Amino acid sequence: MNYPVRVLFLCTHNSARSQIAEALLRHLGGKDFEAYSAGNNPTGLNPYAVAAMTERGIDISQQTSKSVDQFLDQEFDFVVTVCDRAKQVCPVFPGDPKQIHWNFDDPSEVQGEEETKLRAFRQTATFMTNRVQALILTQRKILREMGLVKPPAAVAWVANTEEKVKSDEAQIAFEIGQK
């Protein structure tokens, strides 16, 4: 494992789900992680993703959609696909990264009023926060065991319950063990 831990989040369009995950890992993971995101068919940042993250105090308005092709020659510790389509066409990356799959529904496919659409992005951000926090916990534990980081005096998490983090931490540990 590298330090900092390098993580690439992939989805189809790199417009919402993977952008949210990248921003959350940068925000919550601090200097222990390098977060990136890309898509197989990038289309531009979704304004509802920007709004949902702004409500959480995280500005993603300057992030851009990127093609997975930009990253094919880079090594990562983890490649996380956040939709089934991205998993199906996930390329091979150098360095044999661990692959994790989190299947999140595409909030941009939700139809309805503005508030209904924004609610879908908020929900995605909440669920994604839980998964990202669990990834951080599992990897920081390993980094501490390797002597690369010291235990924090206090950890501030965004809108979460300890039980949910433990559940997601166990799921991620299982997923990593299966790869």
Active site residues: 11, 83, 90
Q: How far apart (Å, rounded) are the C-alpha atoms in residues 99 and 88?
A: 12
**What is the DSSP track for 87-149?**
HHTPPP-TT--EEEE-----GGG--SSHHHHHHHHHHHHHHHHHHHHHHHHHHHHHHHHTTSS
- Which one, of 97, 104, 79, 75, lies nearest residue 89 by Cα? 79
Helix-strand-coil split of the chain, %, nearest 5: 50, 15, 40
The alpha carbon of 2 is separated from its chain's Cα centroid by a whole number of angstroms, namely 18
